[in-house]
Amino acid sequence: MAELVPFAVPTDSDKTLLVWELSSGPTAEALHHSLFTAFSQFGLLYSVRVFPNAAVAQPGFYAVIKFYSARAAHRAQKACDRKLLFQTSPVKVHLGTRHKAVQHQALPLNGSQCQELANYYFGFNGWSKRIIKLQELSDLEERENGDTMVPLPKRSLKFFCALEVVLPSYDCKSTGIGLVEEPVNKMEEESGKIAVEYRPSEEIVDVRWEEELHGLIQISCSPWKQHGQEENEYLADFSLEEEELRLPELD
């Protein structure tokens, strides 16, 4: 049976590995490199995070590793649990267990992560994309909501983008939409300039017009800071106590 790998931040417990009894000799950076090298052999990794053990425990480290694929995480767990890997003592590897009451909103991947995931599963030349429509929505909202004669300075820039992804080998294509908003003062502080580049493709002539896109626009906005908070909130939902770590039964 095929596995569905969504283009979203992985939050399922069966895609997360907890690795502990890591040696205290190497630095956290060296352990990160060793863990990434060892576990990326089983599938594409979303993240590898290394943490020092609690003060009440013996010196050393533990790690939380996230895969995009649950099957890859299962293979890695079976192959690496109680193995030496890159150190002289065996490590313990278990699938994460999540408290049932905890649920997280699925967050989208950023652009580079989407491309990395697509390249991994479809191949570098196995897919292509093109921008169908790119439009600034900031001025539209001001005209709809503003009744004053004096134009107010923009507080934020908001852009809408409709994108088409094509998989030539499978003779299929899919259209998606996105909305991004950033405060103007923040962008000015970071770069001093605001630039948007639009490169329409001329190779594909099957263009969806505005009336066709109208039915696709269902946008849910989430603040950017939520992406940074997700990892820390997610870690709090797992227990590192060995008796609470259990392997789900495989069919």
Tens of pLDDT, residues 172-229: 999 988 888 888 765 454 444 444 444 444 443 344 444 544 554 444 444 444 445 4
- What's residue 219's pLDDT? 42
Question: Cβ contacts of residue 112 below 8 Å, gap of 6+?
Answer: none
- What's residue 55's pLDDT? 85
- What's residue 33's pLDDT? 97
Tell me how many domains the chain contains. 2
Residues 135 and 80 in one domain: no
Length of the chain, in residues: 251
Residues 49 and 95 in one domain: yes
Residues 38 and 92 in one domain: yes
Binned average pLDDT, 10 residues per bin, the chain of 251 residues: 90 93 93 97 97 90 96 97 94 81 75 92 92 81 54 73 91 88 63 45 41 47 48 50 41 45
- Residue 20 falls inside a structural domain: yes
Residues 95 and 23 in one domain: yes
Residues 17 and 86 in one domain: yes
Question: Cβ contacts of residue 11 below 8 Å, gap of 6+?
Answer: 104, 106, 230, 234
Residues 101 and 131 in one domain: no
- Residue 190 falls inside a structural domain: no
Residues 50 and 83 in one domain: yes
Residues 92 and 45 in one domain: yes
Residues 135 and 70 in one domain: no
- What's residue 98's pLDDT? 64
- What's residue 224's pLDDT? 45
Q: Which domain holds residue 169?
A: 125-141+154-184
